[in-house]
Amino acid sequence: MAKAATAPTTSRRIKLLGKHPIGIPFVAPYVAFLIVVFAYPLGLALYMSFHDYFFAAPGAIVERPFIGVDNYTQVLGDPVFRTALFNVVKFVIINVPLTVALALVLATALNRAIPFRTFFRASYYVPYVTASVAVVGIWLWLFAGDGLVNTILGPLAPDPPWLVNEAWALPIIALLVTWKQLGFYVLLYLAALQNVPNELYEAAKVDGAGAVRSFFAVTVPGVRSATTLVVILATIVGANFFTEPYLLTGGGGPNNASISPVLMMYREGIEQGNAGYAAAIGVILAIGVMTISLLNRYVLERD
Amino acid sequence: MKARLRLVALGTALLALAAACGGDEAVDTEEAAQATGPIDIWYSDNPEEITWGKQAVEAWNADHPDEEVTGEKIPAGETSEEVIGAAIAAGNTPCLVFNTAPAAVPQFEKQGGLVALDDFPGAAEYIEGRSGDVAEQYKSPDGNYYQMPWKANPVMIFYNKKVFEKAGLDSENPPLATYDEFLQTAQTVIDKGGVEAAIWPAPSSEFFQSWFDYYPLFIAATDGQTALVEDGQAQFTSAEGIAVAEDFWAPMYEQGLAKRETYNGDAFADEKSAMAIVGPWAIAVYGEAIEWGVAPVPTADGISPEQTYTFSDEKSIGMYSACENRGTAWGFLKFATSKANDGKLLELTGQMPLRPDLTSTYADYFKKNPEYEVFADQAERTVEVPVVPNSIEMWQEFRDAYSSSVIFGKESPDEALTTAGKTIESLISEE
Amino acid sequence: MSASVAAEDRSAAEDRRAEDRPPPRAQTGWGRYAALAGLTAGAVLFLFPFYYMIIGALQKSPNTDISGAFPQPGNLTFDNFVDINRAINLAGTLLSSVIFTGGVILATLVLGLLAGYALAQLEFRGKQLVFNAMLLLLIIPFMLLMIPLYVMIVRSYGLEDNYLGMILPFAVNPTAVFIFRQFFMQVPQDLFDSARIDGASELQILTKIAVPLAKPAILTAMIVTFIGPWNEFLWPFLITKQADMQPLAVALGSFISNVAGSVANPFGAILAGATVLAVPAVLAFLALQRHFVQSNLGSGVKG
């Protein structure tokens, strides 16, 4: 694509500041915010992960020795952490494809001239805004041993019931999160659909494409940058799930079947005072998600 | 890649900068112990204790205009330990917290967040004079008191009389003394009492849940002679300790008498379960709605109630190191735990001040409120969580083993607890 | 002025994109009914928790059985709302929530839009670094940073019991910046280039071209920005020690942990509180939703 030069600039200045130096003041306030608010906690988190660290009172004389990568080797050797990591993988495998597919199909349907469009859009958005406490209360009730779901299933109901069943606890949480977040991703896709030029659909129609073919030929490629966004955000949400096992399965139960790395961080770092260990979990998790996100971006955004 | 490296470098540089200017000085302990002036305190956030806290603060302030106490309810709930832990790091704890969990004390102590009360002359005598022999359990390994033992909620078995009657059981003296009796009774109330569970302790994995299922029975089984660990040794791997798991709780879950699912609410209050393990605070809650009876926790052979020990579910008062006017704080602490104020606590909350001979000291109260008497009596025979390093981690380790073996039957309780015992022994020997 | 040049250019561009745009893909036949039926079934599934929350909030005594999902004339009451209002000052905590959330939205819109635009459309030195920093922040579990942040904001900045301290860590929502970037990338490049040739400044391009075109995305970003602080529990809980500064989500959370005995129907009171928390969020969405549809039509109407 031929980008028109904005103004005659010396190549030297371009080399030093880039083609649009105006971008620097544009991002400056954001960068200042990042530095003022996050550089220190982030740096401290890294520092902590290499020490036998805990949070001490100001002025307290305490020993927090440097222990190299001990925290990391311990975390990686911790069977609970492996379970937690594997749970993230399972979670993402269930949650991300389901989210992308459902959100895009729903958004496409909601973008059509259908009656009660406002009503429909609002209803898909409702779980997203409802406080977790209320949502979790409802799921507990739905998936209890004598809950609505089992009543409907009758003899097909799993035993032990869903939330205390090691095979089902995590998938239920993944579904809950998919359901709760879906409205937001539908909105993202709806927004993206507004920018897909209509003549592409016209052209597809002229070529004799039906609704399904034009969905795959026009809609899917048309919202690609939104798909990158959805995949990355859903992966991040998946890697950070915490409230649901904390509230819904009584702290990652049954028997750690639904434990998540962030729940481990909460237990280790905040409940048990092993801040260094928790920080190492966080760093490993962040590196993993970063890798996946960059990979996603590379795959989804390449031309 | 290069960009990220630079980011890390930037972060590290800033960290060094921040660390360089983050040197606050500690409070001079000797000076502070004398200092008087206004202080802040936190009390618990349930309505009864708020009422008590407010009246204690008002009474103090009326007599001490120069040493004003400001009371605030603790930002609270399951997360109150986190709030205190974070506040210690930030150096903004109040002087006194009237809701310090003994299990969290070792951690707060390690953080340098707690003041050793022994800094004040006569403190140990005061604490031991008030609470008697039980005070010993609240001493830290270094021999100091970092907490003032305050009030207990000795847990017992509450049962629903209506449900028991419906099941054709004696509702005044139900057979609940031995494990066999208890299991039998549990089966009967499920069959005929119209409840979903005989008893419904939270089956979830939070570290403190064992205090309300396994631990009270363990204490009773060992005649109150030991805490979960003692002298660096796991005590729950003894024959009695394993029996509590193997002969009592495991069959409870196996036979469906206790539920593996979390109940969203209070199962006993909603009459979904026939029994509950709770302390006297619950009387105010269940009092009107449910006709309840109370029994000591069961033991293998059914020792007499007068000899049965249980878990104290105690809350202490901690003095925190951010406190400057510690002289005033110590004064208020003594004031708040005086005989008169302990009486008020009993009256307003139904919780048991940690004093021997409650029934004779506050005879009038127990005459008026006879239902509390059994708890006052039980309060004489309680055991606390042990004050050991990595206390919360220890409980989490225990809970995980208990949950997988006893509640979910994935392995034998014997093996699971023995393995956990080894891990725990190495945990508590770390410093 | 160049702004009008840009505006003219924009309408010209829209002419190209949306010539005689028909109503969004009118549907005929059974496909439309199938879509409608699917959407209706989905809407029921998504509206159910909200409905259940309201039913629960109106129950005199909690009914966790299946019959409890239907209104029972004998078991209806408004007492739960009265109870919750007595336990926590709904008006005061709502005001606090509004200040907290409003501050976050304002900061995100001003600083985030600038940053998102620069990251999408401008070439300048350090751009990749800023983008990665943003991504990193999005990925790092908040649990990892929470206590260091708390220590820093209280100890170094002295912002305890202060709205500024409450707002600061949330001030510029990284998800929103990411959304802005993705959508500004989707806007056809030639629109910007022609405006630049016409001499429009980058700020003008941002406000006169990019923002109007990405309006649905901006509204979506506002919703995600809104929902974070509105339902956030842990952070404001740490930073506020005075009860009268607490947002509603925090007050409700504290209430949940110590309701036993203080009200007649604790579960109902919790759900009543959750209802009060959710309703403004739904209303805010409905208010924004109108603009959603308008912007959709707006870009379809000529000139």
Question: Per the domain annotation, does C213 fall within a domain?
Answer: yes
The pLDDT, as a whole number, for residue B312 is 94
Residue pair B404/A255 in contact by the 8 Å Cβ criterion: yes
Select from A130, A235, A274 the residue whose CB has the most chain C CBs within 10 Å, as the one to mutate to test that interface: A130
Give the chain A residue whose CA is nearest to the CA of B256.
Answer: A160
Give me the mean pLDDT over the B295-311 stretch.
Answer: 94
* Contact C151/A at CB under 8 A: yes
Indicate if the pLDDT at residue B22 is higher than 60: no
Chain C residues in contact with A121 (beta carbon < 8 A):
289, 292
At B114, list the tokens.
Answer: 């707690």
DSSP string, C212-280: HHTHHHHHHHHHHHHHHHHH--HHHHHH--SGGG--HHHHHHHHHHT-TTTSS-HHHHHHHHHHHHHHH
Chains contacting chain A through 3 or more C-beta pairs under 8 A:
B, C
Q: What is the CATH number of the domain that holds C173?
A: 1.10.3720.10
Whether B24 sits inside 8 A of A47 (CB atoms) is no
Query: Mapping DSSP to helix (H, G, I), strand (E, B) and coil, where does residue A68 land?
Result: coil
The pLDDT, as a whole number, for residue C20 is 38
Residue-wise pLDDT for B359-404, tens only, equals 999 999 999 999 999 999 999 999 999 999 999 999 999 999 999 9
Question: Per the domain annotation, does C170 fall within a domain?
Answer: yes
Number of Cβ within a 10 Å radius of residue A286 = 23
The pLDDT, as a whole number, for residue C79 is 87
From B4, B21, B92, residue closest to C132, measured CB to CB = B4
Q: How far is B280 from chain A (nearest CA, A)?
A: 25
Question: Per the domain annotation, does C276 fall within a domain?
Answer: yes
At A245, list the tokens.
Answer: 């096992």
Residue pair A112/C34 in contact by the 8 Å Cβ criterion: no
From B10, B81, B111, residue closest to A60, measured CB to CB = B111
Whether B7 sits inside 8 A of C129 (CB atoms) is yes
H-assigned helices in A50-146: 70-77, 79-110, 117-129, 132-142
d(CA A168, CA C100): 38
Mean pLDDT by 10 residues, chain A (303 residues): 48 76 90 89 92 88 88 93 93 94 92 81 85 74 78 83 88 92 91 84 86 88 88 89 82 85 89 90 92 82 65
Residue-wise pLDDT for C22-32, tens only, equals 444 444 566 67
Give the chain A residue whose CA is nearest to the CA of C25.
Answer: A112
Whether B112 sits inside 8 A of A271 (CB atoms) is no
Helix A70-77 with A275-301: angle, nearest 10 deg: 70
Residue pair A30/C177 in contact by the 8 Å Cβ criterion: yes
Residue B114 phi, psi (nearest 5) = -110, 150
Whether C127 sits inside 8 A of A197 (CB atoms) is no
From C17, C145, C183, residue closest to A42, measured CB to CB = C145
Chain A residues in contact with B392 (beta carbon < 8 A):
271-273
Contacts within 8 Å (CB) and 24+ apart, C84-92: C84/C255, C84/C263, C84/C269, C84/C270, C84/C272, C84/C273, C84/C276, C87/C255, C87/C259, C87/C262, C87/C263, C87/C269, C88/C248, C88/C251, C88/C252, C88/C254, C88/C255, C88/C273, C89/C244, C89/C251, C90/C248, C90/C273, C90/C276, C92/C244
Chain A residues in contact with B90 (beta carbon < 8 A):
58
- Give which of B20, B194, C227 is closest to A184, Cα–Cα: C227
The pLDDT, as a whole number, for residue B422 is 95
Q: Do domains B31-152+314-379 and B156-311+389-429 have the same CATH topology?
A: yes
Taking the domains of chain B in order of start, what are their residue ranges?
Answer: 31-152+314-379, 156-311+389-429
Please compute Rg for chain B using Cα positions: 23
d(CA C51, CA C47): 6
CATH for B31-152+314-379, options being 3.90.1300.10, 3.40.50.150, 3.30.460.10, 3.40.190.10 = 3.40.190.10
From A61, A62, A252, residue closest to B205, measured CB to CB = A252
d(CA A286, CA A289): 5
Q: Which residue has the higher pLDDT, A127 or B276?
A: B276
**DSSP state for residue B256 in the 8-state scheme:** T
Indicate if the pLDDT at residue C284 is higher than 90: no
Q: Give the range among B59-73, B126-140, B161-175, C41-55 with minimum mean pLDDT.
A: C41-55
Residue-wise pLDDT for C166-211, tens only, equals 999 999 999 999 999 988 887 778 888 888 888 888 889 888 888 8
* Contact C151/B at CB under 8 A: yes
The pLDDT, as a whole number, for residue B354 is 94
Question: Per the domain annotation, does C52 fall within a domain?
Answer: no
Q: How far is A179 from chain B (nearest CA, A)?
A: 21
Give the chain C residue whose CA is nearest to the CA of B286.
Answer: C261
Whether B285 sits inside 8 A of C260 (CB atoms) is yes
Chain A residues in contact with C249 (beta carbon < 8 A):
131
d(CA B153, CA B174): 23
- Give which of B70, B22, B72 is closest to C154, Cα–Cα: B22
Chains contacting chain C through 3 or more C-beta pairs under 8 A:
A, B
Q: Give the range among B195-199, B320-324, C151-155 with minimum mean pLDDT.
A: C151-155
Q: Give the range among A4-13, B255-264, B343-352, C232-241 with minimum mean pLDDT.
A: A4-13
Chain B residues in contact with C257 (beta carbon < 8 A):
45, 76-79
The pLDDT, as a whole number, for residue B77 is 52
Indicate if the pLDDT at residue C70 is higher than 80: no
Q: How far is A202 from chain B (nearest CA, A)?
A: 43
d(CA A14, CA A20): 8
Q: B156-311+389-429 falls under which CATH superfamily? A: Periplasmic binding protein-like II (3.40.190.10)
d(CA B186, CA B274): 8
Q: Report chain B's mean pLDDT, rounded to a whole number.
A: 89
Helix C215-231 with C174-186: angle, nearest 10 deg: 170
Whether A46 sits inside 8 A of B11 (CB atoms) is yes
The pLDDT, as a whole number, for residue B366 is 95
Give me the mean pLDDT over the C40-57 stretch.
Answer: 86
Whether C237 sits inside 8 A of B83 (CB atoms) is yes
The pTM of the full predicted model, rounded to 2 decimals, is: 0.84
Q: How far is B15 from chain A (nearest CA, A)?
A: 5
Give the chain A residue whose CA is nearest to the CA of C277.
Answer: A131
Residue-wise pLDDT for B252-273, tens only, equals 999 999 998 887 778 898 888 9
Q: Give the range among A164-178, B326-340, C279-293 with minimum mean pLDDT.
A: C279-293
Q: Domains in chain A, please, with CATH?
A: 72-301 (1.10.3720.10)
Q: How far is B173 from chain A (nearest CA, A)?
A: 32
From B10, B262, B393, residue closest to A39, measured CB to CB = B10
Parent domain of C100: 2-17+89-298
Indicate if the pLDDT at residue B17 is higher than 70: no
pLDDT band at residue B78 under the 50/70/90 scheme: low
Q: How far is C91 from chain A (nearest CA, A)?
A: 18
The pLDDT, as a whole number, for residue B23 is 44
Residues 74-103 of chain C with CB under 8 A from chain A are none
Chain B residues in contact with C133 (beta carbon < 8 A):
7
* Contact A58/B at CB under 8 A: yes
d(CA A139, CA A134): 9
- Give which of B34, A59, B108, A149 is closest to C69, Cα–Cα: A149
- Give which of C294, C286, C290 is closest to C212, Cα–Cα: C294
Indicate if the pLDDT at residue B417 is higher than 60: yes
At B164, list the tokens.
Answer: 């028991």
Maximum alpha-carbon separation in chain A: 78
d(CA B252, CA B245): 10
Q: Tell whether the torsion through CA atoms of B287, B288, B293 and B299 is positive or negative.
A: negative
At B233, list the tokens.
Answer: 């040794």
Global ipTM: 0.81
Residue pair C161/C247 in contact by the 8 Å Cβ criterion: no
Select from B2, B262, B397 the residue whose CB has the most chain A CBs within 10 Å, as the one to mutate to test that interface: B262
Q: How far is B419 from chain A (nearest CA, A)?
A: 15
